[in-house]
Each structure stands twice: as structure tokens, then as C-alpha cells.
Amino acid sequence: MLGGIGFIAKTVVGMKIEGLKCWHCGTSLDAVPQPIGRREECPSCTSSLHVCRMCEFYAPGTGKNCREPMADDIREKEGTNFCDFFRPQPDLTGQSDADAAASRAKLEALFGGKGGAAHPTGSDTGTPSQAPSPEAEDARKKLASVFGDSDREP
């Protein structure tokens, strides 16, 4: 618990963290007063700032998704919390957008769609440059059987 208290004391006496950006949209937070309070919001997207996703201890895949062993388990990582160990991490840039883009790219690679090399067509006209792979056809058939669209062509 001393780690959190020490950080609060250092911050109160004037330590300003440079390069803070909103965890959600990537907007610079230079104009936001520090230390970041529990109710502080991004001036651009109004996302809460005192959240796990913006903390330097946030580590997806670890226990409680947090590297601070004394911190409570906070279930909503993108929601305002009362964590005493919160330390804003500088140079974050819209992590949720990057995660969404990576997931979207994986889906497009699997099922085809607009967007770069993963698209089965050679152009934006929608004309296939080659026949779909057998794996893609099997995946489409499975989806059709789940959603009851077995008569429908893709």
C-alpha cells in the first residue's frame, strides 16, 4: 500500500506526467489537471480517465489483468474505479481501436470482405479474382446452417 500512497504524495507536490493521452481516442491530455481524479473525463470523447486501461499496471493476461499485487480485482477495466494504485501511463493511443482493427482484420482474412489483401477480390468491383478456398466455402456453409440461410448464395 505504500507504493500507492508514495505516488499520490509525489503527484500532489507537483509531479506532472508529460505525454498523457486518452486510452480510448488517443487525444492529448495536457490540459487535464493532474493528479487525475476519479471523475475526470477525456475532453474529446468523454471517456473516464481513472480506469485500468489507462494505468501503467494494466497488463492483460496477468492475474486480475494488473501487475500491482496489492490492488483489488476490478472487473470493469474501462470504467471509473477507486484504485489507490492508479498511475497514468503516458503515450497510450486508442488501444480499444487498435484491438478492434486487429479483430476486424482477422475476420476479413477468414471470411473475406473489404480491406486489403484479405479480400478475395482483386479490386473494389466485387469481381472475384480466384475461386474461394475450400476452407472458406466450408465456413460459409457452417454459418448458413447455423443461421438457416442454406438456400442463399454469398
Question: The whole model's pTM is what?
Answer: 0.54
Q: Are 144 and 152 within 8 A, CB to CB?
A: yes
Instruction: Identify the pLDDT of residue 56.
Output: 92
What is the three-state SS of 2-16? HHHHHHHHHHHCCCC
All three cell numbers of 118, joined, read 484479405
What's the pLDDT tens digit per position in 83-115? 999 999 987 765 555 666 777 788 888 887 664
Rounded Cα–Cα distance for residues 80 and 58 (Å): 14
The residues, ordered by sequence, that sit 6+ positions from 113 with a Cβ below 8 Å of its Cβ are: 107, 119
Calculated CA dihedral for residues 137, 142, 145, 147, nearest 10 degrees: -100
